[in-house]
Amino acid sequence: MSIKYCQQVAYELNKINEQAKTLGSTLKSPFGTLSFLALEVIPDIKLTDKGLVDVNRFELL
């Protein structure tokens, strides 16, 4: 959520994604990926840097 125009938010998100890549991130959208890690509405699976994980069986899907 932001009070800024969507174009400004998109520009700033692109900038921080580029900065994350200069630090070694190989993810296309590192901060987008992070937003899914604590998603409470999906209690049995989580998205990680390794892929989709069944947290009950500790297996990649």
What are the residue ranges spanned by the domains of the chain?
Answer: 6-60
Checking if the pLDDT of 14 tops 90, the result is: yes
Query: Which token pair is 37?
Result: 């890690």
What band does 34 get if pLDDT is binned at 50, 70 and 90? confident
Q: How many Cβ atoms sit within 10 Å of the Cβ of residue 8?
A: 11
Checking if the pLDDT of 17 tops 90, the result is: yes
pLDDT, mean of residues 46-51:
79
